Amino acid sequence: MPRALALVLLISLAGCVATADYTVMRNDLNQVMVTQNELKKEVHALKKRLTEVSSTSRDRQILEALRQSQVSLREEIDALRGDLQALQAAVEEGQFRDERRWREAEEEDRNLRLELEALKEEIKSLQKAMAEINERIATATAPQEVPPSKETPEELYQRALQTLNQGDFQKARREFEEFMKRFPQSDLVDNAQFWIAESFYREGNYEEAILAYESLKKNYPKSNKIPDALYKQALAFEKLGDRNVAKTILKSIIQKFPDSDAAKRARETLERFEKTTPEKTRG
């Protein structure tokens, strides 16, 4: 029986509820509590994703997914609140004719009320968490003003590269992104995109590195950084435990850019693959 239909039937029979009817309400309440626990897990997952959110254009898809998850979460909370109200109404309207059953039901009634209050508090916590998510999304998507600077394109590029080599990967990404935004016509824009991908790779964030190298291939198909980007993309797949994809990319480098330094490194890496056991796939 669907949950909503069960609640309607429960309310319609509230005037003649017996101990067995409380068992039905208890089961329904337990189902609500299970739903509530699932909502808390979703909030936890959303918070975890938020730590990955930045104000760059690459994060718009992540933010959109967060908004959709937030809408779904709000609908689930509204449904949960409706279920709680229906259960509470059934508890308050229940009347028993039998003296013995009344005493038993009275104790169960107190327990149900306590659990209902606890669930209300959990809903308040979920709503507070959602408010925090909204605030953080608003902050992440707010346009960031670029302070005026007298630096030339080359000076800004070199500063970002120096930051990368110093190991401050997040700051380096911001500086390269600033460079690309302020000087989109510069000959170094494709290089900046490569170093953004490289910052993710050095940071150990291989999934983001793969996507950033792919952006270089897609947006700057004539860049002289393409062979190197393909090679590092293959290494990133190897780090993730997928040597089959890595081999395919390495072979494409040899085929498309046979005279490049990246092709030489690709041949050496393929030879290494033949001599060593693949790393265990992460899972």
**CATH 1.25.40.10 intervals, the chain:** 153-275
Q: How large is the average pLDDT for residues 241-254?
A: 96
> With pLDDT > 70 as the criterion, what percentage of the chain qualifies?
67
Residue 39 or residue 253, greater confidence: 253
For domain 153-275, the question of CATH label 1.10.540.10 is answered with no
The answer to whether 173 and 110 are in contact (CB under 8 A) is no
pLDDT of 271 over the 80 cut: yes
Residue 106 or residue 188, greater confidence: 188
pLDDT at 219: 95
Poorest-confidence range of 29-33, 191-195, 212-216, 231-235?
Answer: 29-33
CA–CA separation, 190 and 228 (whole Å) = 12
Poorest-confidence range of 13-17, 27-31, 69-73?
Answer: 13-17
pLDDT digits (tens, 9 = 90+) for 89-100: 766 666 555 567
Burial of 81 (0-12, 13-18, 19+ CB in 10 A): middle
Poorest-confidence range of 43-47, 159-163, 209-213?
Answer: 43-47
pLDDT at 7: 44
pLDDT at 11: 45
Place of tokens 């070199």: 158
| pLDDT, mean over the chain | 78
Residue 96 or residue 114, greater confidence: 114
The answer to whether 63 and 141 are in contact (CB under 8 A) is yes
pLDDT at 2: 44
pLDDT at 212: 97
Residue 233 or residue 94, greater confidence: 233
CA 85 remoteness from chain centre: 32
Q: How large is the average pLDDT for residues 228-244?
A: 96
pLDDT of 10 over the 50 cut: no
Closest-CA residue to 231 (of 198, 200, 205, 207): 198
Give the number of other Cβ atoms within 10 Å of residue 252's Cβ.
14
pLDDT at 52: 58
pLDDT of 107 over the 90 cut: no
Q: How large is the average pLDDT for residues 7-27?
A: 52
The answer to whether 25 and 90 are in contact (CB under 8 A) is yes
* Cα separation values, 92 from 88, 102, 104, 250, Å: 6, 13, 15, 70
The answer to whether 168 and 202 are in contact (CB under 8 A) is no
pLDDT at 17: 44
In a 3-state reduction of DSSP, which class is residue 277? coil
Residue 84 or residue 142, greater confidence: 84
CA–CA separation, 71 and 77 (whole Å) = 10
CA–CA separation, 4 and 79 (whole Å) = 10
DSSP string, 116-160: HHHHHHHHHHHHHHHHHHHHHHHHHHSPPPPPP----HHHHHHHH
* Cα separation values, 141 from 56, 124, 204, 214, 273, Å: 8, 26, 25, 24, 43
pLDDT at 56: 47
In a 3-state reduction of DSSP, which class is residue 166? coil
pLDDT of 125 over the 60 cut: yes
pLDDT of 37 over the 90 cut: no
